[in-house]
């Protein structure tokens, strides 16, 4: 997308969202959903109980015609949506677990999936059990499709607003994805997937009774939600399929790491960990890594050399290429 084109469409959408915010007396994120649904409904303004009024409706119709004339491609819609949601997140001060997963991290997930599944004739099904606003899942799906993979996805989230945002963005970007509004730790009525992936919410899970069904449960007090969600997601992965999870870099050093290690050694293979650049996070303590897990079964086995890598900077092309070379050498030796 040309910079001037995205700037134009971004400005038009911001105006439309603000018009809807004022007309409906609602939040930025709810107005984002309303705006997206109007665009999906053939660029028509929905009027309920006389709102928006005639003057606002006329201006919105003008804006929508201009947006329609720009003719955005699916991945352009997703990128535009991300910029709008970043603006909305700043206005509404979302809690950390509700923030968007940045594109820079999403593209690394895409790279890893492409490396682990090089056969483009094989359809890929992805699952995110804590999909939030959906940016990580949609980034992965749309960019895999651009790379000529046949990819579809399933997203699950308990937060209705975040799920509505994800669903409306997915319709705008024509992504092949189903969303389910439920607690990701409850039973999922889905067929096995090739890849489970998630930017996992960090914190404690309040339902101790449900947590007791998992190997990663804590013996006392609440269990870590991100441990439980990893275990849950891998239940729905095909034998020898993969899990890619964004977790705190100190995941093996926490007070509940003993329970996580028990599950890691019994149910899956921990094949690698990719530490992300420090400059992506506010503090060193909040740094994160992408865990690479493989479900047991078929020809899967523990690699002789677990990948331990760090991407020094995503902004520097040379360091990214160094990581790509390191990963590909590791993959060729171990798979």
Instruction: Quick: pLDDT tens for 190-237.
Output: 999 999 999 999 999 999 999 999 999 999 999 999 999 999 999 999
pLDDT at residue 240 tops 90: yes
In the structure encoding, which two tokens stand for residue 159, read together? 């937060």
**Closest C-alpha to 153, from 168, 142, 163:** 142
Predicted confidence at residue 280, as pLDDT, reads: 85
**Closest C-alpha to 227, from 189, 188, 192, 201:** 201
3-state secondary structure the chain: CCHHHHHHHHHHHHHHHHHHHHHHCCCHHHHHHHHHHHHHCCCCCCCECCECCHHHHHHHHHHHHHHHHHCCCHHHHHHHHHHHHHHHHHHHCCCHHHCCCCHHHHHHHHHHHHHHCCCCCCCEEEEECCCCCCHHHHHHHHHHHHCCCCEEEEEEECCHHHHHHHHHHHHHCCCCEEEEECCCCCCCCCCCEEEEEEECCCCEECCHHHHCCCCCCCCCCCEEHHHHHHHHHHHCEEEEEEEEEEEECCCCCCCCHHHHHHHHHHCEEEEEEEECCHHHCCCHHHCEEEEEEEECCCCCCCCCCCEEEECCCCCCHHHHHHHHHHHHHHHHHHC
Predicted confidence at residue 147, as pLDDT, reads: 95
Compute how many other C-beta atoms are within 10 angstroms of the C-beta atom of residue 296.
14
Angle (deg, nearest 10), helices 28-40 and 54-70: 60
d(CA 203, CA 223): 8
**Closest C-alpha to 137, from 197, 74, 55:** 197
d(CA 147, CA 141): 10
Domains, the chain, ordered by start: 3-72 (1.10.150.470), 96-334 (3.40.50.150)
Instruction: Quick: pLDDT tens for 241-293.
Output: 999 999 999 998 999 999 999 999 999 999 999 999 988 887 777 889 999 99
d(CA 291, CA 289): 6
Report whether the peptide linkage leading into residue 156 is cis, meaning its omega lies within 30 degrees of zero. Answer: no
Predicted confidence at residue 144, as pLDDT, reads: 97
pLDDT at residue 25 tops 80: yes
Predicted confidence at residue 126, as pLDDT, reads: 98
182-211 burial, b if ≥16 CB within 10 A, otherwise e?
ebbbeebeeeebbbbbbbbbeeebeeeeeb
Instruction: Quick: pLDDT tens for 102-161.
Output: 899 999 999 999 999 999 999 999 999 999 999 999 999 999 999 999 999 999 999 999
Instruction: Check residues 321 and 281 and name the one with the higher pLDDT.
Output: 321
Predicted confidence at residue 2, as pLDDT, reads: 59
Q: How confident is the model at residue 35 (pLDDT cuts 50, 70, 90)?
A: very high
- Residue 152: phi and psi, rounded to 5, are -135, 160
Average pLDDT of the residues of the chain: 93
How far lies 243's CA from each of 149, 179, 249, 261, 294, in Å? 18, 19, 16, 16, 6
pLDDT at residue 1 tops 70: no
Predicted confidence at residue 243, as pLDDT, reads: 98
């Amino acid at each position: 997308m040309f910079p001037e084109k995205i700037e134009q469409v971004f400005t038009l959408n911001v105006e439309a969202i603000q018009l809807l915010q004022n007309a409906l007396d609602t939040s930025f994120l709810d107005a984002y959903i309303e705006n997206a649904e109007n665009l999906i409904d053939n660029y028509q303004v929905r009027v309920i109980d006389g709102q928006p009024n005639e003057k606002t409706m006329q201006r919105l119709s003008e804006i929508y015609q201009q947006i329609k004339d720009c003719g955005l491609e699916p991945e352009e819609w997703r990128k535009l949506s991300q910029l709008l949601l970043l603006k909305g997140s700043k206005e509404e001060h979302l809690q950390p677990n509700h923030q968007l997963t940045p594109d820079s991290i999403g593209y690394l997930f895409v790279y890893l999936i492409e490396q682990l599944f090089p056969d483009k004739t094989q359809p890929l099904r992805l699952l995110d059990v804590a999909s939030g606003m959906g940016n990580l899942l949609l980034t992965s799906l749309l960019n895999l499709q651009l790379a000529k993979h046949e990819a579809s996805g399933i997203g699950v989230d308990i937060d209705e607003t975040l799920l509505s945002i994800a669903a409306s963005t997915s319709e705008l970007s024509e992504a092949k994805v189903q969303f389910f509004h439920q607690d990701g730790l409850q039973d999922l009525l889905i067929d096995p997937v090739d890849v489970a992936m998630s930017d996992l919410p960090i914190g404690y899970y309040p339902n101790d009774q449900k947590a007791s069904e998992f190997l990663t449960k804590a013996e006392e007090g609440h269990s870590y939600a991100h441990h439980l969600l990893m275990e849950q997601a891998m239940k729905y992965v095909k034998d020898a399929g993969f899990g890619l999870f964004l977790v705190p870099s100190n995941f093996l050093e926490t007070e509940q790491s003993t329970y996580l290690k028990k599950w890691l050694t019994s149910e899956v293979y921990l094949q690698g960990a990719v530490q992300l650049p420090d400059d992506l996070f506010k503090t060193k303590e909040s740094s994160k890594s992408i865990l690479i897990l493989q479900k047991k079964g078929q020809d899967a086995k523990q690699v002789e050399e677990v990948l331990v890598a760090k991407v020094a900077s995503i902004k520097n092309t040379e360091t990214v290429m160094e990581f790509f070379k390191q990963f590909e050498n590791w993959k060729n030796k171990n798979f």
